[in-house]
A and B are shown apart, each in its own frame.
Chain A
Amino acid sequence: MFVYADNAATTKMSPTAIKAMLPYLEENYGNASSLYAFGQKSAEALAAARSTVAGCLNAEPREIIFTSGGSESDNQAIRSAASWGARFGKKHIISTAFEHHAVLHTLRRLKKEGFDITLLNVHENGIVTPQQVSDAIREDTCLVTIMYANNEIGTIQPIAEIGRICRERGVWFHTDAVQAAGHLPIDVKAQNIDMLSLSAHKFHGPKGVGALYVRRGAPLETLIEGGAQERSKRAGTENIAWIAAAAAALREACEHMEENSARVTALRDRVIDGLSAIPHSALNGDREHRLPGNINFCFEGIEGESLLLLLDDAGICASSGSACTSGSLDPSHVLLAIGRPHEVAHGSLRLTLGEYNTEEDVDRILAEVPRVVEYLRGMSPVWKDLESGKTRHQL
């Protein structure tokens, strides 16, 4: 039995998405920039995909540009707002401590270039408050960039409220919606979002394609220079097959969002309830305001990588915020940001369920995770010290 429970890392392509891409791999391979009718078929497919993606976000087609994915979209959005800010002497950017590295590392670079970066505290529940954003905005703030939902602990941020504040205060608002798109309702107009990043492979589309929504009038700078594709904002011959598949996957996800969400949430809640019975464990992130498929636990006394390897051996694909899984020495910056101590953060497990998971998958997870945790605790001197009272339990 094979249980894929790492849908926040990537998802399986849907049959709809695969079907949507095939005509552009086989017959219609023309270049969308070519003038002849054969090329124009590709141009039409591109326009249709743009219109579909725009429709899913309540945006206008001209506000969508296709990119290589979430990281590129984040880079371009933040760079664009920063360049705009630099022109007006506004070199302050607000974000949170637990953004994706595509955002954090771009901000780190901007800091070296003279920008002042404020990273807001995300509290124990993994949620930033609109008041924090309001309090942090200064005269020289050019951009607020806050993720829609966190990729590790799944917590959903108050995007509409933050959007309203930013619009009122005249500050550009970008949200990295890579984990949210296709899973949570998005309305860029109602939520006052100026820029939004998404990535197709998180909602059953192909890898290597994403989109950036940029509201008309918001700054948009070119990162990749070359041809006049994407209104000269993103050069390079468009990958029509991937783009068509991305649009088809997003439309499918948005059309079935309510039923998918209800079903996946029910699976998630079964796992959360089941794993909560493991002694000295804790759910990371707010229980209510979280992505339908996200489960993230810390288990005291064990280390995440060994947990993952044994789960893999049992046929379960999962991930961890342990340092050992990343090749770095520090455990997840997200878990540290919500206040987990290093030694607890090392023992984390992220399971992310999706539309293709079943009740049987949940049964398997609930049978294997407690078994593996108990086994590893049985050989852990840290666990022994906790149990004997030599050190104090933190969970």
Chain B
Amino acid sequence: MALYSEKVFDHFKNPRNVGEIPDADGIGEVGNAKCGDIMKMYLKIDNNIITDVKFETFGCGSAIASSSMATTMIKGKTIEEALAVTNKDVVEALDGLPAHKLHCSVLAEESIKSAVQDYYEKNNIPYDKSKFPVLEDCEACDAGQVRMV
């Protein structure tokens, strides 16, 4: 099928790191059920290294594939390396996404950042708030347009 790349299909049908980490050090949740996408990212962090990561996603095939791919890109990495992952990196790793699905990769990036932010907050670690997305209600539902990269 030509709707998605083989990589997207692979990560959609055989998602990596699905599930929950009960004692996660940081949890990020982004998206909105009204729009049809919610991503939840769980991080286990030890000595600045992401030792484990799991995700749960409500959404379309590309949303599930984007979350899966994002987890593989940050597992075993430092927090700084994880924060450097952009939605474009996720899209490239997936061999592309259709234009109207790019917001799925944005959610993947934001879910990582949101989970790290949660880790910082929980541990009273000072950080630069301006480098994290302000998570409000999805613009798409109100303004009728997808936030594009």
Contact = CB atoms under 8 A, between A and B. Distances in A.
B131 interface: no
A306 B146 contact: no
A313 interface: yes
Contacts, number: 78
Contacts of A312: 1
B56 A381 contact: yes
A322 B101 CA distance: 14
B12 A329 contact: no
B76 interface: no
Interface of A: 301-306, 309-310, 312-313, 322-325, 327, 329, 331, 341-343, 346, 378-384
Contacts of B140: 329
> What is the predominant secondary structure among interface residues of chain A facing chain B?
helix
Contacts of A323: 35-36
Given A301-B58, A306-B59, A306-B61, 4 more contacts: A343-B33, A346-B33, A346-B36, A383-B58
B17 to A, nearest CB: 11
B29 interface: yes
Nearest to B143: A329
A382 B12 contact: no
B73 interface: no
A382 B38 contact: yes
A319 to B, nearest CB: 14
A379 B15 contact: yes
Contacts of B1: 312
B64 interface: yes
Interface residues on B, range: 20 to 34
B57 A379 contact: yes
A342 B34 contact: yes
B112 to A, nearest CB: 15
B11 to A, nearest CB: 12
Contact of A303 (B18, B58, B100, B144): B58
B88 interface: no
Contacts of B61: 305-306, 309, 324
Nearest to B56: A381
B35 A329 contact: yes
B142 to A, nearest CB: 11
Contact of B58 (A325, A327, A331, A382): A382
A90 to B, nearest CB: 33
B13 interface: yes
A108 B115 CA distance: 45
Nearest to B140: A329
A303 B56 contact: no
24 contacts: A303-B36, A305-B61, A306-B12, A306-B63, A306-B64, A309-B12, A309-B13, A313-B13, A325-B60, A329-B35, A329-B140, A329-B141, A329-B146, A342-B35, A343-B34, A346-B36, A379-B18, A379-B19, A381-B39, A381-B56, A381-B58, A382-B33, A382-B58, A383-B58
Interface in B1-33: 1, 9, 12-13, 15, 18-20, 29, 33
Contacts of A325: 60
Contacts of A306: 12, 59-61, 63-64
Nearest to B98: A327
Contacts of B36: 303, 322-324, 331, 342-343, 346
A343 B58 CA distance: 10
Contacts of B15: 379
Nearest to B100: A327
B60 A381 contact: no
B12 to A, nearest CB: 7
A381 B13 contact: no
Contacts of B34: 341-343
B37 interface: yes
Nearest to A328: B100
B37 A303 contact: yes
A325 B98 CA distance: 12
Nearest to A313: B13
Interface string B27-71: 001000111111110000000000000011111110110000000
A327 B99 CA distance: 9
A2 to B, nearest CB: 14
B56 A380 contact: yes
A310 B146 contact: no
B58 A329 contact: no
B60 A303 contact: yes
Contacts of A331: 36
A82 B17 CA distance: 58
Contact of A380 (B9, B12, B57): B57
Nearest to B146: A329
A380 B67 CA distance: 12
Interface in B54-110: 55-61, 63-64, 100-101
Given A381-B29, A382-B38, A324 B60 contact: yes
Nearest to B68: A379
A306 B60 CA distance: 5
Contact of A381 (B38, B100, B146): B38
